[in-house]
Structures are given as C-alpha cells and as structure tokens.
Chain A
Amino acid sequence: MSIRDVAIVGTSMTKFGRSNKTELEMFAEAALDSIYNSDIEPKNIEELYLGNCAGAINEGQVNMCAHAAEEIGLHQIPSTTFEGACASSAVAFIHAYREVAAGYNDTVLVAGTERNMTLRPTGWATRVFQCSADQRYTQFTGLTFPGIFAMAANRYMKKYDISKEAGEEALACVSVKNHHNGALNPKAHLQKEITIDTVLQSPKVADPLKLYDCCPFSDGAAALVLTSAEKAKKLTDTPIYVAGVGQSSQGSLCTQSDITYPIGRAVSSKKAYKQAKIEPKDIDIAEVHDCFTSAEIIAIEALGLFERGHGWKAEKEGETAVDGKLPINTSGGLKAKGHPIGATGCAQIHEIVEQLRGDAGKRQVNKVEVGLADNMGGEFGTITTIILRR
C-alpha cells in the first residue's frame, strides 16, 4: 500500500465540564480555533469527519455533520458523522487520516462533540450510556457501564489473587494520579487533588467501583486539522506526524472470554505498532481510556505497556505518574479531564500533540518523542490506537 505521511497542524478543545451551549455550538468553537491555530482558513478544509455518540437521543439531533459544516463556513464540503460510542471521534480521526494518507484529500478537519451533563438526571445518562452495549443480551439486565468495568475489576483481582483491600487501593491510586494531573490542566472538568481516602470513602456505584473510580459526565468538544506532511511543513515548525493507527471491534460481553485482557485492544495496538515500526517499549507517553479506574489498568496491560497482572502494582508504585517510568493520562484522563463521549478521542490526541510540541505547561513530560492514544467504545466493542511522533 502506497501511502504518504500525514501530520496534525492544529488542535483545540473547549474547557470540559458543564456547558450551556449545544453540541453544534461547542463543536463550532473548538473547530474554528483549531483551523485558526493551523494558520489556515475554513475555505482550505476539504472534508469534515465528526464524532458524536448520543446527539440523537440527548438533543434530538441527527445529521449533525451537515449542520456542523455550515456553522463554520465549510460550504458544500462532504461532512460525515462517525459513531463508535466513546471512541466516536478517534474512529473519525482514523478515517480522516486514511483519506489524507491515500491522497483523496489534502487538508481536513476532525472533531468530536457531546453534551452529557446538563440535559438530564444521572439515571437517564446511565441508561443512555448503556445503549452502546448489546441491546438484546446486555442492556435488559440493567448492567451499567460502571458495572461492566466493576466486573472486570473483580475478575482481575480473582485472577491475580489480589485481596479486595489491595485491589481497591490500587484502583484509588489511578484516580489520585489522574486528579493530580487534571489539577494541572486548565481545560479539565475536575481540577482538584484528592486522596486515596476520598476514593475509598465515596459512595458505591458498582462494587468494587465507587464514585471517585468513575469519570464524570461532561460536556465539551475537541477538534484537529490534518494535512499532508508536505503541506504541514509550510504551515508550522512543529508538525506532529501520525506514525500508526489501528482499530478493532468485538461483540457483547457475553462473547468475550477474558474481560481483563480485551483481545480487540491487543489486535488494534499491534497493528498500530507495526505501522509505526516500533514496540510498546518505545512509547514515551500514553493517553488511555480510563472511563473507570479499572479500565486504565486493563488498557495499559492490553496495549503491552505493562506486563499482564502487573498494571495494578505499576499504578501503586507511581510508574504511571507524570515523572514516572511511563506517564499515563497526563491530561487527567477521562477521570479528571472529563468525558464528553464523542469528543474524548480528539481530546486525547490534543493532549499527545501538546506534549510532543512541549506545550503541556505544568504537566509537561521531559523528552517526549512518541505518544499513543487509546480510545475504547462500549463493552470493549470499538477500540482504536493512534500513535503520534514529532
């Protein structure tokens, strides 16, 4: 396959949290900002790839892609909405990347937007999140998303013979670390430090997960501009290149034999490592899908970044901190930065780009050459791996 190099030239995200703006309005802010900070004009954008998950249910808005393009003056360009639950905008990114790499397009806009927080009560949001699980054989049981990752946590503890107390403490360490990072990120939803006791004493959501093991429902949008490497060099001194991408799918929880090691994540990441011609040990920094604390431990193992059965210890011993061996979720992750579903994939890439450019402020990691973004939608249903380099 003959493909050309592709680079990110501009990124942006709104502050995550509570917003009174609609999904289209938040999209418009992030999108135009990413276009302007790429040193281009809307008229240079040839196509829009938009990630959104539940706009149809929450706002009653389908066909969001068309309205999104018009909002920022992208008259008559092709515009498509991509939906892969919490991985929606990472899937949009991969498709945008492929079409620029293949030469169909030169300069495109990728974005994600979602409003989870402001519209309805928790029970409703919990029901809407369920929609990405199998409608027939998962949703009717009332198994929630915290429930799915609680099941994975319990299985993990049993499999590796970890006591409930030690396991819950390791989970809490993930939350404490991500809150610490989030406190250094002015765009984060939750900018406050917490302690292990904050987590352990918070209300139970789905055993063993408690409130502070769970990411918040957030509103927000993120956007980035992709172009050919050739054009990127003319636009910026710091183009960030797409080194490799991978994507995979899996059926419902009842079709998976080991939910502590989602095989789809191993498949997706291997594909990305192969294209980037690197191994997991070459990764300097990663944003992973920590919708729940247990999800982060499962992710770092399935990505091959930490040995199977050792991720929980690595979290406890600080190996994943900003100054640790392999910093994970320097942005604060979904846990503290927030999780506006359709915007999360692009927001993860935004953080990796900032780190690779040296623009991450107080949470900047030293000597970052290669970064990875891991995004996951549903009950391990849609998984993406995106590797970026300087």
Chain B
Amino acid sequence: MIDYKLTFETYTKNLLGGRILGLKCNKCSNYIHPPRMICPKCYSTDLNIIEFNGTGEINTFTVVRVAPTWMEDIAPLIIAHIKLDEGGFILGHLSDIEADAASLDLIGKKVKMIGGREVKKDIISGVNGAIPIFQLL
C-alpha cells in the first residue's frame, strides 16, 4: 500500500505555523493543492511534500454574514477563493478588509498568507482545524 503522503494533520500543524504545504509531482512537475493521493494530471503517486510560497491571486470571494453556529461570534467572515502562485486553489479569510468595503475589485488582487487561526473542537466532528489568514499585497 502506498502511504498517504500529506495528511490533514500534518497540513494543519504547518498552517498554524504559517506554512502552506502542498505536493509536487516528481513525474510531471505539477503542483498540487489541496493535498491528494495521486497527481490529478498524470496519475503518478510519486509526490513530494513542498512548502508553497503563500502568495496567490483572489479568484473570487464573499462576505459570509449568516455564519455556521460555531463561527457566529466572529462573523461577518470575508472569505476568498485564492489561486495559489504554484497552482491549485485555497480558501482563506481576508484580515485587512472591512466587510462593507469588499467589492468586485478584489478579484484579481494579489494576496499573501500571514498565518493560521486555530479552530478548536468542531461542533460536529470534534476535530481541530485551522483557517488560513491572508492580507492584500
């Protein structure tokens, strides 16, 4: 059996340390994020864990005003779908924008991850996780 290379546990620990981990395919050089078992382009399982540089471009965004029950106290949440410079996408919070100032002009803007915010004991799964936090460059 081939070992699952980059687990959620390892990914989350690193996110809390300010690092976005992903995978690089040794066969076709494709960068993979979020982590998966196999290269989605060439189907190779010969993958290496690498640290992404943490920068990307906002593909789209929203301001979540009605939040899930465990996040109601920190709403509104400005969440972006970010295309990472190496490849692949990530969801993260934008920390340096006011909710009412978020406009379509944000799309295409460059951002950098500044750290991870810990989420403790999710109400359904009981699992800990982390939210990547980004700022505009």
Contact = CB atoms under 8 A, between A and B. Distances in A.
Given A134-B34, A206-B64, A142 B81 contact: no
A147 B89 CA distance: 16
A207 B63 contact: yes
B81 A127 contact: no
7 contacts: A127-B68, A137-B90, A151-B81, A158-B108, A204-B65, A206-B63, A251-B36
Given A143-B91, A254-B91, A154 B66 contact: no
B92 A141 contact: yes
A140 B122 CA distance: 8
A147 B79 contact: yes
Given A142-B79, A253-B81, A57 B124 contact: yes
Contact of B107 (A123, A128, A158, A255): A158
Contact of A259 (B68, B81, B125): B81
A122 B71 CA distance: 13
A344 interface: no
A350 to B, nearest CB: 30
Contacts of A143: 62, 64, 77, 79, 91
A154 B60 contact: yes
Interface size class of chain A, counting residues whose CB lies under 8 Å from the partner chain: 35 or more
Nearest to B66: A205
A146 interface: yes
A126 B61 contact: no
A218 interface: no
Interface size class of chain B, counting residues whose CB lies under 8 Å from the partner chain: 35 or more
Contacts of A124: 69
B89 A127 contact: no
A60 B25 CA distance: 42
A120 to B, nearest CB: 9
A207 B60 contact: no
B85 interface: no
A207 B106 CA distance: 13
A134 B90 CA distance: 12
B50 interface: no
Interface string B32-66: 01101000100000000000000000011111111
* Chain B interface main SS type: mixed
B67 A155 contact: no
A123 B70 CA distance: 8
A131 B40 CA distance: 24
A119 B124 CA distance: 16
Contact of B81 (A122, A207, A254): A254
Nearest to A131: B124
A226 to B, nearest CB: 35
Contact of B72 (A123, A151, A206): A123
A135 interface: yes
Best-surrounded residue of B69, B70, B93 (most CB of chain A within 10 A): B69
A261 to B, nearest CB: 13
A127 B70 contact: yes
Contacts of A252: 34
B104 interface: yes
A145 B34 CA distance: 20
A147 B77 CA distance: 10
A207 B62 contact: yes
Given A151-B62, A253-B91, A123 B81 contact: no
A74 B33 CA distance: 47
A337 B127 CA distance: 36
